[in-house]
Amino acid sequence: AFHPLPSRDRRKRLPPEMLLLRRCSHRPPRRAAPLLPAVHRVAPLLPAVHRVAMSSAPASPTATPSSSPAAEYHCRTKHSLTAGYARGPGRLDWANQPNPFLRFPPSPATPLPNPPPPSSSAAVPYQALFHAPPPPPRPLSLDSLSDLLFHSLALSAWKSAGASTWSLRVNPSSGNLHPTEAHVLFEDPRAPGRLVLSHYAPRDHLLEARATLPAGDRSALLPPPATAVLALSSVFWREAWKYGERALRYCNHDVGHALAAVALAAATLGWDARLLDGLSDQDLGRLVGVDKGCPAPAPADKTKMASGKKGPAPCLERQHPDCALLLFPAGSEEPEVDYGRMSDALREFDELEWVGKANALSKDHVVWDVIYKTAEAVKKHQPMPGERFLVSPWSTSTKLSEGPYKDLMAQEVVRRRRSAVDMDGTHVMGKEEFYQILLHCLPSGELSPGERQGPQSALPFRVLPWDAEVHAALFVHRVSGLPKGLYFLVRNEEHFDTLRNAMRQDFEWARPEGCPDGLPLYRLMKGDCQRLAMQISCMQDIASHGCFSLGMIARFEPVLDDKGEWMYPRLFWETGVLGQVLYLEAHAVGISATGIGCYFDDAVHEVLGLKDLEFQSLYHFTVGAPVVDKRIMSLPAYPGPGIDA
C-alpha cells in the first residue's frame, strides 16, 4: 500500500498482491474531485481541500533554506495533488529487481534451531507485553538468539500464486522489498571469551560469522550485564528500485519496524533493548563491516553516476549503517556504557580478518543521487554533548479489560502479522478495542495523576532514547459508539499547546465520550471522512475501507534545529515503531493493518491547518478487516523453496 503498481507486464518475483494496485509514477495524478460534506461539521475543511486539489501550487512551502539538507530532501520528495509524485522510475525494471537476501559466502554458517526449542523461552501472553513486567531473563545461547531472531526478523511464510512464489517476514517492509539487514555481536557459546560478529541470513535462519575478536577484556563493547549488540543497516537500492527518490523515507520506516520487532521479541526472553545512540555513523560502519567484503564506495568522479540513468553501479548495493541496540537482562543493573571506550574498541574492527564477500543483488541499477547525498548529510558524527546511555524504568500500559486479545501468545501474534492489501469496508470495531489499541500507542504507558505523556518508557517505545516527537491524526470510519470524524492523539503532551496553535482554530479539541482518563485523544470535528482519507492517501481505497486510518504527524523543523540533521531518519524510526504496534494490535484483535507511504503530503497539512515545517506528516496507516485473496496459497516459512524471492 505504499505506491500503486502496474497490473500487467512482467510479474517475475513481484508479489501478486502488489500487482492488484494501479500504477504510480512521477507523472501528475488524475485530478481529484472535491469532497462532499456528509454533515455540516465537515464543511469548513472542504474549501481548503478543494483549493489544494485544484490550485497550481501546494498549500505549504516546498522550498527550504539550503542549510537544512534534511528539510530540502523532505520537501523535494513530497507527493502533490497538482505537481505530481516524487521522482521515481516511472516503470519497474523486473529483470533487475534486487535480490531480497544478502549473503557473505564463504563465511562460516551456523544454522539456528528452527523452530527455537520450547526451552529457549516460555510462551508470553500478548497482552502481558504491555500490562506486566517482562519474564525472568533467559541466558544468551544459540537457542535464545534463534528465538529472538525467529520472532523479529525471520521469514514468517512463503506465498505462491500461479508461477510466482515469494517470501514474507516477521518485520514489515514497504513493498516487501526489505532493505534492512541485521548483524549480531555476541560471545560465542562454543568459544567462551571470544566475541563474534555475525550477519543474520533470514532465508535459511542462520548466522554467518564475518569476524572473530581475539580473547580479552571486551567490557567496552559489552558492558556487564549486556549480552549482545544487534546492529541494523540498510541497502537503499532495494527500495530505490521501485520508489526512486522517496526511498530514503521508506528505508527508515523499515528500520523503525525492525527496532520495534526486536524490542518486543527481546521482552519475551526477559531482555531489554536500547539504542546505542551515542555511536557515530563511522562507528556503526565498522561494526557492520560496510567496507569488508562489500561493494566499493561511489566514485569520486560523480559524472560516472548520472542520476536517473540505468547501468551497472555496484556501489548502490553498499550497506548504510543505521543503528545498534544493546541487549541486556530487563530489570538488571544498568550497563555502564562509555561511548568513548566503545568507539575506540570499534576501531580495532578495521584490523580484524573479515570473511565473506557480499553477493550481487542486481545486474543494472538506477542512481537516485539525492538519496545518498541526504544520507551523508544526516549522519551523526559524534555523541551530543553530555549524551549518556540511560535506561528508563519499565512502564506498563493501562488495561481496560481482558476481552480484546483472545488469549493469544505474543510469539503467535508477531509471526502471523501480515500487511493487508484491501479492507472489506464493512467491519465495525468496538470502542473499547479502539481505545485499548491507542493506549498501547502511548510512549509513557500508564501514568500517575499529574504526569504527562512524552518520555518513551513503555514497550516497545523504550528502545528509543528521546522523548516522543510523533503524534497521530486519526480518520475514524467504523468504530461503534464513536462518531465518525477527525481525531488527534497527542503522544507528547508537552506539545499540546503548540499543536493546537498550529492547527485549524475551528477544531473542537473535545474529549470523546467514554475516553479513558489517561488517553490524550481529542475529537477535532465530526463527519464522514472516508473520501477525504482516500484522496489524501494517493486515491487508495484502503485508507477509507478500514475501521480507521491515520497520519503520523511529527514535530519536524524544531527538532532538526534543536538537535541536528541526524534526527531526520530517527523521526521516521519512531513512526516505524508506532506502526509496528498498530500492526500487532490489529492482528491481536482479529483484523489487520497496513502502512501507507503514498500520500499527498501538503494536502494532509492543509486538512489540519499546518502551514509551515513545524509539523510534518511522515507515515500513514490503516486498520480494518482484510479482504483475503483465496487464489494465493500460504506455505510454511521453513523449510522454504530455496529461492531468492
pLDDT tens digits for range 62-73: 444 447 999 999
d(CA 320, CA 363): 20
Cβ-proximal residues to 264 (8 Å cutoff; 6+ apart), any chain? 129, 151, 152, 410, 414, 459, 460, 580, 584
Same-domain status, 457 and 357:
no
Band of pLDDT at residue 459, cut at 50, 70 and 90:
very high
Following CA atoms 14, 15, 19, 25 in sequence, which dihedral angle do they give, to the nearest 10 degrees? -50
Same-domain status, 248 and 374:
yes
Report yes or no on 638 lying in a domain.
no
Neighbours of 566 (CB within 10 A): 18
d(CA 444, CA 493): 11
Please tell me the least confidently modeled range out of 129-143, 232-246, 297-311, 537-551.
Answer: 297-311
Positive or negative, the CA dihedral 511, 515, 517, 520 is negative
Q: pLDDT: is 628 or 524 the higher one?
A: 524
Neighbours of 113 (CB within 10 A): 17
Boundaries of domain holding 334: 137-156+167-378
Which cell goes with 79?
507527493
Asked whether the predicted pLDDT for residue 18 surpasses 70, the reply is no
Same-domain status, 199 and 279:
yes
d(CA 251, CA 371): 11
Are residues 461 and 577 in contact, defined by beta-carbon separation less than 8 angstroms?
yes
Same-domain status, 197 and 334:
yes
How confident is the model over 142-151, as a mean pLDDT? 96
The one-character DSSP state at 311 is E
| Angle (CA) 586 499 517, round 5° | 55
How confident is the model over 41-66, as a mean pLDDT? 43
Establish how many alpha carbons lie within 13 A of residue 49's alpha carbon, considering only the half-sphere containing its beta carbon: 22
Residue that is last in its domain, among 378, 411, 443? 378
d(CA 578, CA 460): 9
CATH of the domain at 448: 3.40.109.10
Alpha helices in 524-600 (DSSP H): 530-536, 557-562, 567-588
Which of 218, 456, 469, 452 lies closest to 335 in space, CA to CA?
Answer: 218
Residue that is last in its domain, among 350, 378, 406? 378
Report yes or no on 535 lying in a domain.
yes
Same-domain status, 436 and 519:
yes
d(CA 274, CA 461): 10
**How far, rounded to the nearest angstrom, does the alpha carbon of residue 166 sit from its chain's CA centroid?**
21
Q: What is the pLDDT of residue 300?
A: 65
pLDDT tens digits for range 102-119: 999 999 999 999 988 887
Asked whether the predicted pLDDT for residue 448 surpasses 50, the reply is yes
Neighbours of 426 (CB within 10 A): 9
d(CA 99, CA 238): 8
SS3 of residue 339 by DSSP: helix
Same-domain status, 433 and 555:
yes
d(CA 639, CA 78): 41
Q: What is the pLDDT of residue 591?
A: 97
Report yes or no on 112 lying in a domain.
no
Asked whether the predicted pLDDT for residue 32 surpasses 50, the reply is no
Mean confidence (pLDDT) of the chain:
89
Q: What is the pLDDT of residue 65?
A: 47
Which of 380, 404, 357, 21 lies closest to 175 in space, CA to CA?
Answer: 21
Same-domain status, 546 and 424:
yes
Which cell goes with 550?
491515520
Report yes or no on 97 lying in a domain.
no
End-to-end CA distance of the chain: 19
Residue that is last in its domain, among 378, 409, 440? 378
d(CA 423, CA 411): 25
Are residues 27 and 471 in contact, defined by beta-carbon separation less than 8 angstroms?
no
Are residues 324 and 278 in contact, defined by beta-carbon separation less than 8 angstroms?
no
CA distances from 189 to 142, 192, 442, 558 (A): 7, 6, 38, 46
pLDDT tens digits for range 481-529: 999 999 999 999 999 999 999 999 999 999 999 999 999 999 999 999 9
Asked whether the predicted pLDDT for residue 53 surpasses 70, the reply is no
How confident is the model over 75-91, as a mean pLDDT? 94
Asked whether the predicted pLDDT for residue 2 surpasses 80, the reply is no
Asked whether the predicted pLDDT for residue 420 surpasses 90, the reply is yes
Please tell me the least confidently modeled range out of 189-193, 347-351, 465-469, 608-612.
Answer: 189-193
Which cell goes with 544?
477509507
Q: What is the pLDDT of residue 6?
A: 32
Report yes or no on 85 lying in a domain.
no
How confident is the model over 569-596, as a mean pLDDT? 97
CA distances from 22 to 14, 91, 142, 444 (A): 14, 12, 44, 40
The one-character DSSP state at 117 is P
Work out whether strand 180-187 and strand 592-596 pair parallel, antiparallel, or are unpaired: unpaired
Q: For residue 258, with 0-12 CB atoms within 10 Å meaning exposed, 13-18 middle and 19 or more buried, which class applies?
A: buried
Band of pLDDT at residue 27, cut at 50, 70 and 90:
very low
Q: What is the pLDDT of residue 308?
A: 74
Please tell me the least confidently modeled range out of 23-27, 127-131, 225-229, 419-423.
Answer: 23-27
Establish how many alpha carbons lie within 13 A of residue 558's alpha carbon, considering only the half-sphere containing its beta carbon: 10
CATH of the domain at 339: 3.40.109
| Angle (CA) 237 240 241, round 5° | 85
Asked whether the predicted pLDDT for residue 4 surpasses 70, the reply is no
Q: What is the pLDDT of residue 301?
A: 57
How confident is the model over 129-149, as a mean pLDDT? 95
Which cell goes with 226?
549486556
d(CA 328, CA 335): 8
Asked whether the predicted pLDDT for residue 60 surpasses 80, the reply is no
Q: What is the pLDDT of residue 191?
A: 82
d(CA 99, CA 101): 6
Report yes or no on 444 lying in a domain.
yes
Band of pLDDT at residue 402, cut at 50, 70 and 90:
confident
**How far, rounded to the nearest angstrom, does the alpha carbon of residue 428 sit from its chain's CA centroid?**
27
pTM (2 d.p.):
0.92
Are residues 572 and 255 in contact, defined by beta-carbon separation less than 8 angstroms?
yes
pLDDT tens digits for range 250-291: 999 999 999 999 999 999 999 999 999 999 999 999 999 999
Same-domain status, 367 and 221:
yes
Asked whether the predicted pLDDT for residue 403 surpasses 80, the reply is no
**How far, rounded to the nearest angstrom, does the alpha carbon of residue 85 sit from its chain's CA centroid?**
22
CA distances from 498 to 406, 435, 492, 519, 558 (A): 39, 24, 11, 19, 11
How confident is the model over 18-23, as a mean pLDDT? 32
Report yes or no on 113 lying in a domain.
no
d(CA 493, CA 219): 38
Same-domain status, 363 and 424:
no
How confident is the model over 609-628, as a mean pLDDT? 97
Same-domain status, 431 and 555:
yes
Q: For residue 370, with 0-12 CB atoms within 10 Å meaning exposed, 13-18 middle and 19 or more buried, which class applies?
A: buried
Tell me the one-letter amino acid at 32.
A
Report yes or no on 247 lying in a domain.
yes
CA distances from 367 to 234, 309, 479, 574 (A): 16, 6, 45, 28
Same-domain status, 323 and 279:
yes
The tally of domains found in the chain comes to 2
SS3 of residue 415 by DSSP: helix
Which of 479, 477, 473, 540 lies closest to 503 in space, CA to CA?
Answer: 473
Q: What is the pLDDT of residue 62?
A: 46
Q: What is the pLDDT of residue 306?
A: 64
Same-domain status, 226 and 321:
yes
